[in-house]
Amino acid sequence: MTEKITFFLILVLFVPVLSAQTPGETILESYERNFIRSSLNTKVNVLSDAALDEAAAEFYGPLCEIALNFVLNNASLFRDDPDILSITVAAVRGVGEYEHNRAVETLWQVFLRFPDKAIRYEILAVLPVLETSSLTGKIHEFLIEQNHLYKSGISADSELLLPLFSILGKTEDESSYQFLFESIGLYTGDLREEAVKALYEIDGNLFDFFLRVILEDQPPEKLSAFNLALAWEGLSEEETGKMAEAALDLALAVPGDRRSEILELAERSLFIIKETGWVRALPQVLKYYNQSFTAFRSNITQKHPLINAINCLGNLKSADAAQTLVLQLGLYNSRYAALQAEENEVVLALINALGQLGYKASYDVLHYASILSYPDDITEAAQNALAKLKW
């Protein structure tokens, strides 16, 4: 009989008793006390029981935060323990279910402390329903680390990165532009698409960001920013013209021996100026035309930049553009019999551009081209251009 009493006393001492709420104690304090006193393998049961309480909405979020702090404080002892993982998952879900924003920082600490994918994915599943503005800088730091690992040859974890990109997109923090832009240049497929989507979603001055990259970064980044800007639905027609003008102006400042580095950006911006008829960029287009013509005379195979510049001038309604093209066509008319095939292509572009502009001052050179012994396609184009002149 004495042995039975002794055994019972031992049970009382070592088995936690989940007591009811005591006088003067809040519901949260009661559950917190029970959570602290319970054994490791029954703590998750305390959370489960609390979740069923009719008053759970009043205390369950803070209780889950308490549980997460317990996990953090004991991470070095029980990091891989299954019970710790169960407690963590239950607490994370509770924070999300009751949108307990005060636990956001604690959630992120758990995210960093526990590399276990199951835990991290759970945290990423609830962060979007919480106020995460305080985490923006920390997410940036984590992305820098992940990008560095990817560059070193480690595969990207899409399930980890996709939600983080999405979270940044829902903020109003313009500092995320740079981190998302770098990720766009690094990843492909779904990751790139999500980073682009997040970049466009941030409520900030994205136009200024794109313009800064075009003006200050290296040629590949300049071109990437320009293309991303053009694909952005939030870019106005005026901003499109301004950006193309700035990009072309920048390209013109690059020394001739480095022209190839910036040629694609120059051609892309020239095309946009042509398509939009952005006449304010006429000085830049004329300068690009002159540069291209000089390069063409040095190497007759370099005809495409010159022809593109001529096509652009033909879409800019300006007497200055027409005068430039008239003078050039006049020079070609004077030596038409000696022109090479590449030069004939340039002549055809000049005639078509003058036809688009429709300035009557071009009548003489177009008429002369129509009666010279040019190839048939050129004389026919000259006749068509004459018919378009405005009188």
Please report, for the chain, the start and end positions of each structural domain, with discontinuous segments joined by +. Answer: 14-131, 143-173+181-204
Is a pLDDT exceeding 70 seen at residue 3? no
- The reported pLDDT for the residue numbered 382 is 96
Model confidence pLDDT, tens digit, residues 334-367: 999 999 999 999 999 999 999 999 999 999 999 9
Is a pLDDT exceeding 90 seen at residue 235? yes
Section 238-265 average pLDDT? 87
Residue 329 DSSP label: H
Section 253-272 average pLDDT? 84
305 and 267 Cβ atoms separated by less than 8 Å: yes
Is a pLDDT exceeding 80 seen at residue 293? yes
Is a pLDDT exceeding 50 seen at residue 313? yes
Is a pLDDT exceeding 60 seen at residue 4? no
Q: How confident is the model at residue 260 (pLDDT cuts 50, 70, 90)?
A: confident
Q: How confident is the model at residue 86 (pLDDT cuts 50, 70, 90)?
A: very high
- The reported pLDDT for the residue numbered 77 is 84
Q: How confident is the model at residue 245 (pLDDT cuts 50, 70, 90)?
A: very high
Q: Using CB atoms within 10 A of its CB, is residue 150 exposed (0-12), middle (13-18) or buried (19+)?
A: middle
Q: Which range is least confidently modeled, 17-31, 187-201, 226-240?
A: 17-31
- The reported pLDDT for the residue numbered 33 is 93
Greater pLDDT, 227 or 14: 227
Using alpha carbons, select from 95, 90, 185 the residue that is nearest to residue 132.
95
Using alpha carbons, select from 304, 321, 328 the residue that is nearest to residue 356.
321
Section 97-106 average pLDDT? 96
CA trace torsion 142, 148, 149, 150 (10° rounding): 110
- The reported pLDDT for the residue numbered 210 is 97
308-334 b/e (C-beta count within 10 Å ≥ 16 → b): bbbbbbbbbeeeebbebbbebbeebbe
- The reported pLDDT for the residue numbered 172 is 82
Q: How confident is the model at residue 22 (pLDDT cuts 50, 70, 90)?
A: low
Is a pLDDT exceeding 50 seen at residue 96? yes
- The reported pLDDT for the residue numbered 76 is 85
- The reported pLDDT for the residue numbered 228 is 97
277 and 242 Cβ atoms separated by less than 8 Å: no
Is a pLDDT exceeding 80 seen at residue 2? no
Is a pLDDT exceeding 80 seen at residue 306? yes
Is a pLDDT exceeding 90 seen at residue 257? no
Q: State how far the Cα of 73 lies from the Cα of 58, in Å rounded to an integer.
A: 25
Model confidence pLDDT, tens digit, residues 144-190: 999 999 999 999 999 999 999 999 999 889 999 999 999 999 999 99
What is the pLDDT of the chain when averaged over all its residues? 90
328 and 347 Cβ atoms separated by less than 8 Å: no
- The reported pLDDT for the residue numbered 18 is 44
- The reported pLDDT for the residue numbered 180 is 96
Alpha carbon distances (Å) from 39 to 36, 45, 46: 8, 10, 10
pTM of the model: 0.82
Q: How confident is the model at residue 20 (pLDDT cuts 50, 70, 90)?
A: low
Greater pLDDT, 310 or 258: 310
Using alpha carbons, select from 259, 262, 346, 267 the residue that is nearest to residue 301.
346
Is a pLDDT exceeding 70 seen at residue 1? no
- The reported pLDDT for the residue numbered 21 is 56
